[in-house]
A = this chain, B = another copy of it.
C-alpha cells in the first residue's frame, strides 16, 4: 500500500490521485486535459443540515453512507408539497403551514444529479453519518465562467479558506464537517453568503421585511460552517403511504395503476434526479466469479443528457480483474468506496502515468483514452466512477466484446510479430466480458 508520502508526490506530479479527507475537497485539472473537475466529500452528522447553495457546475452526488433527505429548488417550478389547511385559509403564514418543492429521501448507493445554477440542500435525519461524494464538472458547457469551481451559499457563512498558488488550480477547503479541521497552511479569506454584500435596505424592500431581519440573513458572525446542527428534528412535508396504499401494496399489484406510464413526457419540474446504483439486481455486467458493473447514464436517468455526466459502480471480488480498457469519450474519476486494489494507467507513449495501490477514500482519475487496468486486492475492490459524458463508453481490450476480438487474427499475428496460434490465444482465451475471474480453468489447461 502506498505511503502517504508517495501519495502526496503523486498528487503533485500527476494530479491523478487524491486522498479525500473528511469534508475537504480537492480540485484538479486532469493530466493532459483541458477540462477540470472538482471532487468533494461531505460527512453530515446526525441532524446536520448542509446549507442551501448552488454552483457554476453540474454535479453528480453519490451517497456513500447513511440516509437522509435532499431537495433541489428548480427555478420556475411550483411548490408542490403543501400543508392541507393551506388551501382553505389561503394564508400560508399561519402556524406550521408551509409549502415547498419536492423533497427526496436518499440512501446509500443513490446517485443524485443537479444541474448548474440550481440550489439544493441535504439533511441527515438518520442515526449514522450521511456521507456524500460529489463531483462537479466545471468544464461542462453549462458553465460560462472560468474553470474555477464557485459555490454560492444562500445562507450561513462559509468562511472559506483558500490554498493554492498562482498559476495552479486553486483548492478550496471548507469547514464542512461538524468536527471542523485545522487551518492547514492556507490563508483565511473573508467569505459569506450571497446576501452579505447587498444593501440591507434593498434586501428589506425585496423581501418586504424589516431591515433588522434583512441584516440577520447575512449571517455575518455565524461560525457554524456550511453544515449546521438542527436543534429539534427538522420539520417539512414528506409523503408517506396512506393506510389504504399500504394495504393494497401488501396485496401486490396495487400500485400498478397509479404509476403506469401516461405517455406524457417528463417535464423539467418533475424530472427524476436520483437513481440507486448499488442495487445488485440492476447490474449491467455480472460475473458470479468476478463481480459486477452497474451504470447510470442518460438512458436510465434522463436528466443526465442535460448535464452530460454519468456514473458507473464497480464491484470486483477478491483478486478479480477488470478488463484492460480505455475510456472512449470521457474522463473517469474513480472514488474507491471499499476495499483495495492495484491500478495501472498508461498514456499514448506507452508510459505508465500511475501504477499503485488504491484504497477506500482515494480518488484516481483515468483520463480519456488512456489505457487502464484494475485488479482487486484480497478484500475485493468497490468504486464509483464519475464520467464526463452522459453516455460514456469504454473500449475493452481483452475478453469477449473487445477490440482485440474485432481484429482478424492474421492482422494481430503480423502486428505483434507472433504466430497465428498465439494470436488466436490472445483473441479467444479470455471468454468473459468486462470483469474477469482471477484464475480460470482454461488458463491452467492452456499455458
- Interface set of A (CB-CB < 8 Å, partner B): 30, 32-35, 49, 51-52, 54-56, 71, 73-77, 79, 92-93, 96, 98-101, 103, 116-119, 121, 123, 139, 142-148, 150-156, 160, 189-199, 202-203, 205-210, 213, 216-217, 219, 222, 224, 228, 230-231, 234-237, 321, 323-324, 326-331, 342, 344, 346-352, 355, 367-369, 371, 373, 375, 388, 393-399, 401, 403-412, 414-418, 420, 422, 424-430, 436, 438, 440, 442-443, 446-447
Contacts and interface: CB of A to CB of B under 8 A. Distances in A.
A401 to B, nearest CB: 7
A407 B153 CA distance: 14
Question: How many copies of this chain sit in the oligomeric assembly?
Answer: 3
Given A71-B407, A117-B395, A346-B198, A139 B148 contact: no
Contacts of A352: 197
B197 A396 contact: no
A405 B79 contact: yes
B145 A32 contact: yes
Contacts of A203: 324, 373
Contact of A367 (B121, B145, B443): B145
A228 B14 CA distance: 34
User: Which 10 A-B pairs rank lowest in CB-CB distance, beginning with the nearest?
Assistant: A192-B350, A73-B406, A155-B415, A196-B350, A117-B328, A236-B408, A197-B352, A150-B348, A208-B429, A101-B406
Contacts of A193: 350
A440 to B, nearest CB: 6
A442 B208 contact: yes
Contacts of A93: 424-425, 428-429
Interface centre among A191, A208, A236, A368 (most CB of B within 10 A): A208
Nearest to A394: B75
Given A213-B426, A406-B100, A416-B219, A411 B116 contact: no
Contacts of A99: 405
A56 B331 CA distance: 12
A113 to B, nearest CB: 16
A51 B197 contact: no
B329 A116 contact: yes
A103 B34 contact: no
A74 B406 contact: yes
B401 A76 contact: yes
Contact of A446 (B117, B208, B219): B208
A426 B27 CA distance: 35
Contacts of A429: 93, 207-209
B236 A411 contact: yes
Contacts of A330: 144
Contacts of A397: 154, 194, 206
A375 B204 CA distance: 13
Nearest to A211: B447
